[in-house]
Amino acid sequence: MAKYRILDLFCGAGGFSYGMDKNPDFETLIALDNDQYAGETFKKNMPYADVIIGDITDDNMKAEIVEKAKRLNINMIIGGPPCQGYSMKGKKLGLKDPRNFLFREYLNFVEELRPDVFVIENVKGLLLASNGWFRDEIVKTIGELGYTVEYGVLNASDYGVPQARERAIFICSRHNKVTLPEKTVDKIVTVRDAISDLSYLESGQGEYEQDYALPISSDYQKLMREGSGKLYNHKASNHKQVAIDKLKMIPPEKGKEFLPDELLGNQKFKTTWGRLKWDEVSPTIDTRFDASSNGTNNHPYLHRAITPREAARIQSFDDNFIFYGSKVHIRKQIGNAVPPLLAKAIADQIDDNLDLSK
């Protein structure tokens, strides 16, 4: 039996669990989400987990999960509860603000199950909103439950993820305090390291399943391809000709500054129509990465946006992890995920620092 037996709340496609479970002392046994497509992806990639699709606020659902969790000796909870109410207006209600009820639901499971450790992941704005008032409310509530807490903002690029993705992380322990993990890499993993072996599709090309076309050219690609016999989800968006023509005007690794004013439209953001830069990390991958006009998510030199597989690589999902559902659902699954290598760094830190004998 694994030392850490996990309940993953708001699990999505499973990036958080997939990364944690890379450490052999961790195993996700129960996962909950209200998105059936994300749940299918989770289940097919981690078939040993009991994936439950449902509403975390439903009393019957909660009772079922608590009963299963106790039977399976769950001693760890992870998840990223949505938290929309942290504005100045919301201060009067704090964690009682109805928009923050999902945060409360998460902490209710903590209160019910008393795990040895739990990890909360969220947007970094949570720490700064209302001059830190909400952060302090959360820390106070965790303390009242009898847990120590260490929190801060982690940048995924410090843990071998080829992406500048910043997330607020709270590591909460019923035993000794667990500090946030130190950087695990001395130098960044670049976009080139991540996806140069996938650089051959033009707009509309690619298949759901295909053979690898180019050899491995970086340690990161070797890591991503280990144990994978086929390449999945590497299919380029079928862009309109007008979009392709615009991209043809933008030199490698450049952006909208090369488009004539009459083609810019009403877009106010500097990053629209941007190309990724080979020797830097990617900006944060979002749920619209397959649209050329969305942001800096076009291929460094090919005339298309990045594919789901390229986005998954930039999120640090290895090629064994296959996404299921329509294009819209897969986009959402990848864009909303916790990067697995960031999750693994957190798991390793807990494993190295938590003494469950106390």
Catalytic residue numbers read 83
> CB-hemisphere CA count at 13 Å for 272?
12
Phi, then psi, of 233 in degrees rounded to 5 = 65, 15
**Residues β-bridged to residue 166:** 155
What is the enclosing helix (H) or strand (E) of 59?
Answer: helix 59-71
Q: Which strand (E) or helix (H) includes residue 31?
A: strand 26-33
227: closest CA among 344, 339, 318?
318
The SS3 call for residue 147 is coil
Per the CB < 8 A criterion, the answer to whether 43 and 52 are in contact is no
- The phi-psi region of residue 240 (left if phi > 0; otherwise alpha if psi is between -120 and 50; otherwise beta) is beta
Give the helix/strand (H/E) hosting 196.
Answer: none
Q: Can you name the residues that pair with 100 across neighbouring β-strands?
A: none
User: What does the buried/exposed string (b/e) look like for 38-71 if buried means 16 or more CB atoms within 10 Å of the residue's CB?
Assistant: bbbbbbebbeebebbbbebeeeebbeebbeebee
